[in-house]
Amino acid sequence: MPMAGRMRESITLLEPIYNDRHEESGTVEHPVRAEIRAARGNEILEAMQVNAYLTHRCWIRWRPEIKADWRVRWGDRELAIDVPIPDRKRRWIELRLVEREPVT
């Protein structure tokens, strides 16, 4: 379980904006503090069997608007959110992240 004192990383949540044809036409940036950990070997193997390559796990404070089509910018890396998992008390959200090439 994350603790507020461990949220040492600054990340930016990238919320996609869609036009009338349901094409992504831009993004809204939401800067937040987070705790990020690299995925363990067994988590990587489990993720490869499912479909994606899980590279990181991230915890942020509860934000009800986060969806799986959002992305995370962490320094010069851009990570896709594979699945957001809220805790039962809705204090934290765990983001399972998949690394991808940054869009230039």
pLDDT tens digits along 40-59 = 655 555 555 554 466 888 99
Q: Is the pLDDT assigned to residue 70 strictly greater than 80?
A: yes
Q: Is the pTM of this model over 0.85?
A: no
pLDDT band at 62 (very low <50, low <70, confident <90, very high): very high
pLDDT tens digits for range 1-42: 566 677 888 999 999 999 888 888 899 999 999 999 887 655
Q: Which domains, ranges and CATH numbers included, belong to the chain? A: 4-100 (2.40.10.270)
Task: Average the pLDDT over 88-93 and give the result.
Answer: 91
- The conformational region for residue 20 under phi > 0 = left, psi -120 to 50 = alpha, else beta, is alpha
User: What's the CA gap between 48 and 58, in Å, rounded?
Assistant: 18
Kindly tell me if the per-residue pLDDT of 99 is higher than 70.
yes
Q: How far apart are CA 52 and CA 73, in angstroms?
A: 18
- pLDDT the model gives residue 25: 87
At 38 the pLDDT is 83
- For residue 50, give the nearest of 59, 42, 40 by alpha carbon: 42
Contact predicate 82/57, CB 8 Å: no
Q: Is 47 helix (H, G, I), strand (E, B) or coil?
A: helix
